[in-house]
Chain A
Amino acid sequence: MSKTYFDETHCAIGHPKSTFMQWMLTIDHKRIGIMYAAVMFVFFFVAVFTAFAMRLELFAPGGQYMDGDTFNQAFTLHGVIMIFLFIIPGIPAIFGNIVMPLMIGAKDVSFPRLNWFTFWLYIAGCCIALASLFIGEGVADTGWTFYAPYSMNTGTNVIMALVAAFVLGFASILTGLNFLVTIHRLRAPGMTFFKMPLFVWGIYATAWIQLLATPVVGITLVLAILEKYFGIGIFDPAKGGDPVLFQHLFWIYSHPAVYLMILPAFGIMSEIIPTFSRKEVFGYRTIALSSASIAGIGYLVWGHHLYTSGMSDIAKTVFSFLTFFVAIPTGVKFYDWVATMYQGKIVLSTPMIWALGTIITFAIGGITGVTITMIGMDVHLQDTYYTVAHFHYAILGGVVFLLFAGMHYWFPLVTGKMYNETKAKIAFYLNFIGFNLLWFPMFIAGYYGMPRRYFDYLPEFEIYHQISFVGAVIFIAGLIYMFWVFFKGWTKGEATTPNPWNATTLEWHLPTSPPPLENHSKVPYVDFDPYEYKHGEPVVKFNYETMQRID
């Protein structure tokens, strides 16, 4: 059997003998992607259990297991880990690294050593975030948004959290930069932009957001650090500063960051739907261009986070209008996916049911987003559980569910093994039911006025919190079971062929499974569209010796 990327690697420094050091120093994009996944899911579970601790506290009114201050630190820790360590870097760092170069026929990303450096920068950011837990007054209690002036005055470790977010942001910028250059320079001959797989389009749009938006929040965090450390009064009104300016600068980045999370996830959806419908994707160009336009419009809508912070009515109206506008390209994508499935030979494998489940959960997340776009509704629902439920439906039920879909989809590619289909489906249903049970009651609780970030509440909200708690238990059980299925699949699963799903994109046309060190042993000439099916069978076939078409 020929060697795969598990057997050999390129290293940043020298050629160490030990396997461990080879992993630590690897510059192979596939290995780096796997390492990102390993670290991120550790943090993911830390944040999940922080959330579970909060659910436990909220099971009944009154304080049970933690006091208010601890609760504030718990939701900040949950938010900081989930947003900065997991979701924002998540899909680009994991699948952008593992499959994007394979999809465009590149041997690696443009700057493999930078990629290696970026990974360790990310680890450094994680370490700083973790260290803030144990130093001084403990982790920040500001919420992940670090709103001034409270963040300027609290005694907790806000500075360390800010530094961590800055370092992680820097890693994010460098990842985006690397991918932009890779997509521009290293596409296989013949692959024009409109012959790229849609996941690559998602990554491309994302990379621009990473590149252009992250520096703005970076400098905002630096200003906040300078303010806390040197007493410069830029955001603190006691020194003449303007706290609303902080919110503007923060959301100029952090709202595009929402699209930075969802666009690569939509890319995964756009891969899975045509593959398991055995049909060419409907409206390839509109899906590709809608990614770009979501990225563009996403810059202009940050103001909808500030409806209640004080803004002129005209500004509010303009931001409201622009925010509605984002729903159009998003809707276009959803109609295209549904139209792709129409009259397709749908195969209900696990990745496909994850994708279908996400269509439901993200539609709920998206539509509830449209309701709070309206200024009047938003003033009523601001900082209630309605908003909490909305963004968890959009981010957890959209981004993370699609990340899981992608994990099932590319599992055979990465490992060369197959997980157990039946068990994986059971895991999906556990997750899906648990998720809806967990978050749907919060829409109702929020509508009736349950505020977010409170560790105590009035007795009439008890029933919603208790249903949520049951949902949380099922959901966490489902998550653990899913990872157990993956683990079993990797260690004991059957070996697969390089293309188990009958997919058409280039990452499935490799000589071996898992892929060899430098990907395609020979790069094909791309004179075909990414998703060509005829009568449910892929059109394009290769001779894997020469990578020339034989269809």
Chain B
Amino acid sequence: MGHEYVPEIAIDRDGNQHEVQGWQGDYYGGKLGFWLFMLTEVMMFGAMFLSLAYYNSLHPQDFLDASAGLNRLLGGTNTVILLVSALTMGLGLLRMRAGDVKGSKLMIWATILLAVAFLVIKGFEWTAEYHHGIFLMHDKLLPESSLPFGQKLFYGLYFAMTGLHGFHIIIGIGLMLWLLKRINAGKVSTEHHILHWNIALYWDIVHLIWVFVFPYFYMIGAGGATGGH
């Protein structure tokens, strides 16, 4: 970035001119690259869902019981928060494309706020589970506890996947703060907003993964049980 790129011209045998695509300012390439990167995220979480589905097929009843123990109210609230944050992020991008930089920044701040709220709620949830003796290397999840294998596997994957998802949220917050800095510096503008576009895509994948995580962990046990902790 920064270098002013003047496209080169290649001339074929008939004398026709063809523009050479340079790597500088190749917005289409920037988008393509980030889409491909998001594909790797999908493969990564895909492998975890595969493990989850496999153990679910081995211990169906344990999975339902363990799922019933999760707090669906907090999980559901978080889902709503994340869906709204995806909306604000998207609106921010629309504002940016329409030329409203100030409105766009406002929307990014709103997204950051919602993301922080998500993490705070997640923190409460994990704390409550900790007090119920369900936490990594703790009480009921220790090898010698009498909790059935299926439930241990469920909680293990629950902490691994929501933890990894939470890690993505933290990275997302960092990216958005960086984006605000770039906007303030004039590096991201109505004409040059590929970075904004890509971070919005990232946030979309993060919320999309949650849309699968939530029903698999929180909702499968909702049928027979009466509620959370």
Interface residues of A (CB under 8 A from B): 105-112, 173, 177-178, 180-182, 184-190, 211-216, 218-220, 222-223, 226, 230-234, 238-242, 245, 249, 252, 522-525, 527, 546-549
CB A312 to nearest CB in B, in angstroms, measures 14
Nearest-CB residue, chain A, relative to B62: A240
Are the C-beta atoms of A231 and B33 separated by less than 8 Å? no
Are the C-beta atoms of B41 and A215 separated by less than 8 Å? yes
Residue of A181, A219, A231 near B44 (CB, 8 A) is: A219
Residues of A with C-beta under 8 A to B153: 233-234, 239-241
The 10 A-B pairs of least Cβ separation, nearest first, read: A240-B149, A189-B18, A232-B156, A525-B12, A215-B44, A215-B43, A185-B29, A230-B136, A215-B40, A525-B10
Residue of B19, B33, B152 near A239 (CB, 8 A) is: B152
20 contacts between A and B (CB under 8 A): A107-B23, A108-B23, A111-B29, A180-B32, A181-B29, A181-B36, A184-B32, A185-B23, A186-B23, A189-B10, A211-B39, A212-B39, A230-B136, A232-B159, A233-B143, A234-B153, A239-B149, A239-B152, A239-B156, A240-B153
In the complex with contacts A177-B33, A184-B32, A215-B44, A112-B23 CB distance below 8 A: yes
Are the C-beta atoms of A525 and B39 separated by less than 8 Å? no
Are the C-beta atoms of A188 and B20 separated by less than 8 Å? yes
Instruction: Give the residue among B28, B40, B58, B164 with the most A Cβ atoms within 10 A.
Output: B40
In the bound complex, CA of A181 to CA of B21 (Å) = 12
Residue of B32, B54, B55, B152 near A185 (CB, 8 A) is: B32
Residue B13 lies at the interface, judged by CB distance under 8 Å to chain A = yes
Nearest-CB residue, chain A, relative to B12: A525
Residue of B11, B51, B143 near A223 (CB, 8 A) is: B51
Residues of B with C-beta under 8 A to A547: 10
Residues of B with C-beta under 8 A to A107: 22-23
Nearest-CB residue, chain A, relative to B29: A185
Given contacts A238-B143, A523-B10, 11 further A-B contacts (CB under 8 A): A105-B20, A110-B23, A186-B23, A190-B10, A212-B43, A232-B160, A233-B143, A245-B51, A245-B54, A525-B10, A525-B12
Count CB-based A-B contacts (< 8 Å): 144
In the complex with contacts A184-B29, A219-B47, A234-B156, A177-B10 CB distance below 8 A: no
Residues of A with C-beta under 8 A to B149: 233, 239-240
Which B residues from 162 to 177 make CB contacts under 8 A with A?
A: 164
CB B141 to nearest CB in A, in angstroms, measures 7
Instruction: Give the residue among A112, A215, A239 with the most B Cβ atoms within 10 A.
Output: A215
Contact-size category for B: 35 or more
Are the C-beta atoms of A524 and B33 separated by less than 8 Å? no
Residue B142 lies at the interface, judged by CB distance under 8 Å to chain A = yes
Are the C-beta atoms of A230 and B137 separated by less than 8 Å? yes
Are the C-beta atoms of B43 and A223 separated by less than 8 Å? no
Are the C-beta atoms of B136 and A523 separated by less than 8 Å? no
Residue B90 lies at the interface, judged by CB distance under 8 Å to chain A = no
Residue B199 lies at the interface, judged by CB distance under 8 Å to chain A = no
In the complex with contacts A188-B10, A523-B20, A527-B12, A231-B36 CB distance below 8 A: no
Residue B37 lies at the interface, judged by CB distance under 8 Å to chain A = yes
Interface residues of B (CB under 8 A from A): 8, 10-13, 18-23, 26, 28-29, 32-33, 36-37, 39-41, 43-48, 50-51, 54-55, 58-59, 136-137, 141-143, 149-150, 152-153, 156-157, 159-160, 164
Instruction: Give the residue among A177, A222, A549 with the most B Cβ atoms within 10 A.
Output: A177
CB B93 to nearest CB in A, in angstroms, measures 21
Are the C-beta atoms of A233 and B156 separated by less than 8 Å? yes
- What DSSP secondary structure best describes chain B's contact surface? helix
In the complex with contacts A233-B152, A523-B8, A525-B12, A181-B157 CB distance below 8 A: no
Residues of A with C-beta under 8 A to B51: 223, 234, 245, 249
Are the C-beta atoms of B11 and A219 separated by less than 8 Å? no
Residue of B37, B43, B143 near A177 (CB, 8 A) is: B37
Residues of B with C-beta under 8 A to A548: 11, 13
In the bound complex, CA of A222 to CA of B44 (Å) = 10
In the complex with contacts A215-B47, A234-B51, A240-B160 CB distance below 8 A: no
Residues of A with C-beta under 8 A to B29: 110-111, 181, 184-186
In the bound complex, CA of A109 to CA of B164 (Å) = 31
In the complex with contacts A240-B152, A241-B153, A548-B13, A216-B36 CB distance below 8 A: no
Residues of B with C-beta under 8 A to A215: 40-41, 43-44, 47
Nearest-CB residue, chain A, relative to B28: A185
In the bound complex, CA of A213 to CA of B20 (Å) = 32
Instruction: Give the residue among B8, B36, B149, B153 with the most A Cβ atoms within 10 A.
Output: B36
Are the C-beta atoms of A223 and B160 separated by less than 8 Å? yes
Are the C-beta atoms of A190 and B12 separated by less than 8 Å? yes
In the bound complex, CA of A223 to CA of B50 (Å) = 13
Residues of B with C-beta under 8 A to A181: 29, 32-33, 36
CB A88 to nearest CB in B, in angstroms, measures 16
In the bound complex, CA of A188 to CA of B9 (Å) = 10
Are the C-beta atoms of A231 and B142 separated by less than 8 Å? yes
Are the C-beta atoms of B40 and A525 separated by less than 8 Å? no
Instruction: Give the residue among B10, B50, B136 with the most A Cβ atoms within 10 A.
Output: B10
